[in-house]
């Protein structure tokens, strides 16, 4: 884990963590750390600050205003109110002790344009690296367009979200967020400002598009497809376990999963949240799908609920455009209160009654341990994503579900938290991954301790991605937990980064 305690210099929480280049004298396998003789002098930092027009920010730990002697009630409240929102911190990838971060939040330019090449002709949006999902949706909406972005409105759309794949309510119709990207502007690890698309720097384009954020360079802008907007139908359905047996509850769960492949094949994305006391589809989104059609897809589940005498709440509505449906039906997703683990499930699991039943048993295991179980039902197969060239984890193409497990974070009981962490890695995730060991997991929402993460997060793309990183970031300036190349470093308790022994050998090869 990276400790913020020791973070003394750097630019406030950004999207990309950059390790100081100089390596510690007398210990060439480690990066310079604050306090080391090799740490840059004040005059070096000042010169650097001048070179960036005085924009260098010396950071303090994020929660400083909430602690003496720097306690500030007002600032602390602002921080607490926003603490659970994903833009505050994501998967530990964007922070590091004695690291320099690049804060891209204020790069807000949005330009709607026409794009024409042999792979795509149509509208596109060029988005600065700091543009947040909701800002892109609103800008597109004003031009009668919609864009593939996340369910969390504040997550940056050009950052790790699209660079790592990016699932969306619109993905079963258009593909993942990465599948929309036409071009990147990026500053690579050699300090070059590059344009990467399918005609120039194509290897960098391929890697940035799905191969993970904060790894190959600092993205300055992303140009992505924007699609003609139109009606979007949506529905939600909820019931609780009150007065019903476990068997009845899981009968409905199993039936829903049986129908999932046919639901997503209609261009629909369906979010299903399960806890040990509730079942909720919230929402099922059908861009361009007539409401009657959307309703027919969930009718078998409603019939079963009637048959079993289970009371449920159900609402459906057709909206004029995507933004209206997004604002009305998207749930607020909180992070920072839970730990996560995930696995991508191929459609073959749901299509075969015996394996679908095994899935139900796995879900039972997860819920019985007090964890929640979320299914992001989605179809981003090649037929949907179309003519794309990118490093999206190949496991996505056969998947119909990104399954996500979470347990609450034990803030005051570190021992209990460590036990829960072990449970996530050794019990919960394996209960899903054993159903499809050859599949993988979505790198942006997964167990940060996922064993064999290279295979799970990147599949057969890993080795190629590592070579591309070596070309564009030869000094390993960019580091992120579970990012490509990250296994070549170890992070000590203090936050100090050192090369692993095997990586020292590798360095001579690349
Ligand atoms: C050098 O690196 C090793 C880890 O590779 C670490 O254990 C040791 O403390 C480091 N020494 C110094 C002087 O930083
Ligand atoms: C960088 O320069 C600006 C303007 O002179 C100053 O306000 C800021 O504190 C400096 N940053 C650091 C880290 O010294
Ligand atoms: C559960 O059963 C009780 C007693 O029959 C009834 O009063 C209550 O409304 C039921 N609750 C639900 C959610 O079905
Ligand atoms: C369910 O959909 C209805 C109809 O659009 C909407 O009014 C309601 O807020 C939705 N419920 C949730 C929990 O999102
Ligand atoms: C349900 O899950 C909660 C945690 O979310 C846990 O405290 C509770 O004990 C669980 N109940 C059962 C019956 O498993």
Helix or strand run (H / E) with residue 403: strand 399-408
Q: Is the minimum distance from the CB of 309 to ligand 3 under 6 angstroms?
A: no
Of 26, 30, 492, best ligand 1 pocket probe by most atoms within 8 Å of the beta carbon = 30
- Max mean pLDDT range (29-43, 192-206, 327-341): 192-206
pTM of the model: 0.89
The whole-number pLDDT of residue 503 equals 65
216 and 246 both lie in a single domain: no
146 and 176 both lie in a single domain: yes
Single residue among 194, 228, 262 that ends a domain in this structure: 228
Q: What is the tens place of the pLDDT at every residue in 408-466?
A: 888 888 899 999 999 999 999 999 999 999 999 999 999 999 999 999 999 999 999 99
Q: Which of 39-43, 92-96, 118-122, 275-279 has the weakest average pLDDT?
A: 92-96
Distance, CA 276 to ligand 5 centroid (Å)?
Answer: 6
DSSP 152: S
Task: List beta partners, residue 110.
Answer: 127
Distance, CA 116 to ligand 5 centroid (Å)?
Answer: 54
pLDDT tier at 10 (50, 70, 90 boundaries)? very low
pLDDT tier at 257 (50, 70, 90 boundaries)? very high
Q: Average pLDDT of 257-262?
A: 98
Question: CB under 6 Å to ligand 4: residues?
Answer: 236, 282, 315, 317, 328-329
What CATH number does residue 141 fall under? Answer: 3.30.465.10
492: three-class secondary structure by DSSP:
coil
pLDDT tier at 259 (50, 70, 90 boundaries)? very high
198 and 249 both lie in a single domain: no
Average per-residue pLDDT in the chain?
Answer: 90
User: Over pLDDT 70: what percentage of the chain?
Assistant: 89
Q: Cβ distance 177 to 161 under 8 Å?
A: yes
Question: CB under 6 Å to ligand 5: residues?
Answer: 276, 368, 370
415 within domain boundaries: yes
Q: Cβ distance 358 to 138 under 8 Å?
A: no
23, pLDDT greater than 60: no
Q: Average pLDDT of 345-372?
A: 97
Single residue among 203, 228, 253 that ends a domain in this structure: 228
242 and 356 both lie in a single domain: yes
377 and 242 both lie in a single domain: yes
Q: What is the tens place of the pLDDT at every residue in 120-140?
A: 999 999 999 999 999 999 999
Give the list of residues 6+ apart from residue 352 with CB closer than 8 angstroms, or none: none
Q: What is the tens place of the pLDDT at every residue in 152-176?
A: 888 899 999 999 999 999 999 999 9
The whole-number pLDDT of residue 3 equals 28
The whole-number pLDDT of residue 94 equals 66
pLDDT tier at 100 (50, 70, 90 boundaries)? confident
Single residue among 416, 436, 456 that ends a domain in this structure: 456
d(CA 503, CA 482): 15
309 and 420 both lie in a single domain: yes
Q: Token match 């609920």: residue?
A: 305
91 within domain boundaries: no
398, pLDDT greater than 90: yes
Query: 311: exposed, middle or buried (C-beta count within 10 Å: 0-12, 13-18, 19+)?
Result: exposed
| Nearest atom (ligand 4) to Cα of 319 | 5
Q: Average pLDDT of 250-275?
A: 98
The whole-number pLDDT of residue 70 equals 76
15, pLDDT greater than 70: no
What CATH number does residue 289 fall under? Answer: 3.40.462.20
pLDDT tier at 88 (50, 70, 90 boundaries)? very low
Q: Average pLDDT of 316-329?
A: 97
Task: List beta partners, residue 123.
Answer: 114
Smallest CA-to-CA distance from 445 within 359, 327, 333 is with 333
Of 12, 42, 49, 57, best ligand 2 pocket probe by most atoms within 8 Å of the beta carbon = 49
166 within domain boundaries: yes
Distance, CA 185 to ligand 4 centroid (Å)?
Answer: 39
The whole-number pLDDT of residue 143 equals 98
2, pLDDT greater than 60: no
Q: Which residue has a Cα nearest atom 13 of ligand 1? A: 27
Q: Which ligand is nearest to the CA of 407?
A: 5
| Nearest atom (ligand 3) to Cα of 243 | 1
The whole-number pLDDT of residue 373 equals 98
388 and 408 both lie in a single domain: yes
Q: Is the minimum distance from the CB of 242 to ligand 3 under 6 angstroms?
A: yes
61 within domain boundaries: no
Q: Average pLDDT of 56-70?
A: 76
239 and 151 both lie in a single domain: no
Q: Average pLDDT of 248-263?
A: 98
385 within domain boundaries: yes
19, pLDDT greater than 60: no
Smallest CA-to-CA distance from 467 within 204, 252, 214, 112 is with 204
Domain that holds residue 401: 232-456
257 and 138 both lie in a single domain: no
Q: What is the tens place of the pLDDT at every residue in 188-217?
A: 999 999 999 999 999 999 999 999 999 999
39-73 as b/e: b if 16+ CB within 10 A: bbeeeeeeeeeeeeeeebeebebbebbbeeeeeee
Q: Cβ distance 221 to 184 under 8 Å?
A: yes
Per the structure, the count of domains in the chain is 2
């Amino acid at each position: 884990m990276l400790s913020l305690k020791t973070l003394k210099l750097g630019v406030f929480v950004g999207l990309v963590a950059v390790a100081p280049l100089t390596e510690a004298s007398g210990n060439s396998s480690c990066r310079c750390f604050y306090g080391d003789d090799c740490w840059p002098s004040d005059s070096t930092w000042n010169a650097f600050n001048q070179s960036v027009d005085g924009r260098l920010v010396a950071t303090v730990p994020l929660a400083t205003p909430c602690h003496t002697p720097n306690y500030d009630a007002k600032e602390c409240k602002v921080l607490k109110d926003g603490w659970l929102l994903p833009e505050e911190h994501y998967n530990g990838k964007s922070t590091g002790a004695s690291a320099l971060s690049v804060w891209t939040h204020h790069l807000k330019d949005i330009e709607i344009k026409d794009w024409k090449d042999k792979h795509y002709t149509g509208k596109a949006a060029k988005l600065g690296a700091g543009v947040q999902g909701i800002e892109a949706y609103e800008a597109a909406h004003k031009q009668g367009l919609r864009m593939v972005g996340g369910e969390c409105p504040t997550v940056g759309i050009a950052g790790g979200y699209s660079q790592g794949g990016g699932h969306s309510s619109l993905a079963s119709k258009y593909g993942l967020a990465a599948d929309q990207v036409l071009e990147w502007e990026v500053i690579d690890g050699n300090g070059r400002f590059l344009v990467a698309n399918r005609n120039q720097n194509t290897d960098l384009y391929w890697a940035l598009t799905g191969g993970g954020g904060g790894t190959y360079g600092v993205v300055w802008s992303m140009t992505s497809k924007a699609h003609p907007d139109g009606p979007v139908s949506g529905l939600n359905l909820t019931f609780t376990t009150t007065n019903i047996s476990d068997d009845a509850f899981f009968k409905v769960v199993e039936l829903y999963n049986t129908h999932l492949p046919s639901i997503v094949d209609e261009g629909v994305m369906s979010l299903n949240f399960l806890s040990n006391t509730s079942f909720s589809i919230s929402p099922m989104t059908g861009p361009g799908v007539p409401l009657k059609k959307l309703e027919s897809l969930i009718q078998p589940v409603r019939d079963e609920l009637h048959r079993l005498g289970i009371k449920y709440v159900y609402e459906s509505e057709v909206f004029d455009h995507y933004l209206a449906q997004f604002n009305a039906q998207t749930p607020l997703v909180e992070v920072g209160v839970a730990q996560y683990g995930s696995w991508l499930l191929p459609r073959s699991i749901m299509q075969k009654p015996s394996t679908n039943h095994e899935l139900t048993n796995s879900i039972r295991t997860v819920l019985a341990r007090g964890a929640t179980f979320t299914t992001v039902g989605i179809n981003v197969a090649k037929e949907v994503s179309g003519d794309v060239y990118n490093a999206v984890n190949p496991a996505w193409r056969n998947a119909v579900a990104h399954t996500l497990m979470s347990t609450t974070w034990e803030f005051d009981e570190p021992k209990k938290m460590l036990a829960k962490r072990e449970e996530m890695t050794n019990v919960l995730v394996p209960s899903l991954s054993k159903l499809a060991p050859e599949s993988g997991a979505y790198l942006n929402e997964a167990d940060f301790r996922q064993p064999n993460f290279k295979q799970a997060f990147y599949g057969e793309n890993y080795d190629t991605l590592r070579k591309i990183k070596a070309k564009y970031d030869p000094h390993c300036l960019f580091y992120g937990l579970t990012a490509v190349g990250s296994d070549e470093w170890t992070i000590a308790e203090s936050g100090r980064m050192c090369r692993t022994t095997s990586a020292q050998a590798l360095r001579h090869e690349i």
